[in-house]
């Protein structure tokens, strides 16, 4: 159900993107990292490495989810985001 042109553009953008890992140590805000347990495109080990570079990071691994955890486990991801935002709001006073 995806438009061919949209998919071509998506893959081109993914191919052309640059490594953003160096920004993590510079972020002045908490970061939320969510990974699917079965994600082959962005494995949890990579996510854990990136999270370790951030000053304050919350890491969640979704059991049974792959790369599209936000679709596969939409309710759980939404709950995690809400909890994270509440945590950030409470932290700010």
Tell me what pLDDT residue 20 has. Answer: 87
Q: What is the pTM of this model?
A: 0.78
Distance between CA 91 and CA 93 in Å, rounded? 5
Tell me what pLDDT residue 92 has. Answer: 79
Query: Is the distance from CB of 82 to CB of 60 less than 8 angstroms?
Result: no
- How confident is the prediction for the chain on average, in pLDDT? 91
For 12-30, the pLDDT digits (tens) are: 998 898 988 898 899 888 9
Distance between CA 69 and CA 81 in Å, rounded? 13
For 52-75, the pLDDT digits (tens) are: 999 889 999 999 999 999 999 999
Which percentage of the chain shows pLDDT scores above 70? 98
């Amino acid at each position: 159900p995806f438009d061919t042109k949209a998919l071509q553009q998506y893959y081109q953008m993914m191919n052309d993107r640059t490594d953003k890992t160096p920004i993590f140590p510079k972020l002045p805000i908490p970061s939320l990292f969510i990974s699917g347990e079965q994600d082959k495109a962005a494995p949890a080990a990579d996510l854990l490495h990136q999270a370790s570079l951030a000053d304050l990071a919350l890491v969640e691994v979704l059991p049974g989810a792959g790369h599209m955890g936000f679709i596969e486990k939409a309710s759980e991801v939404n709950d995690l985001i809400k909890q994270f935002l509440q945590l950030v709001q409470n932290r700010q006073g």
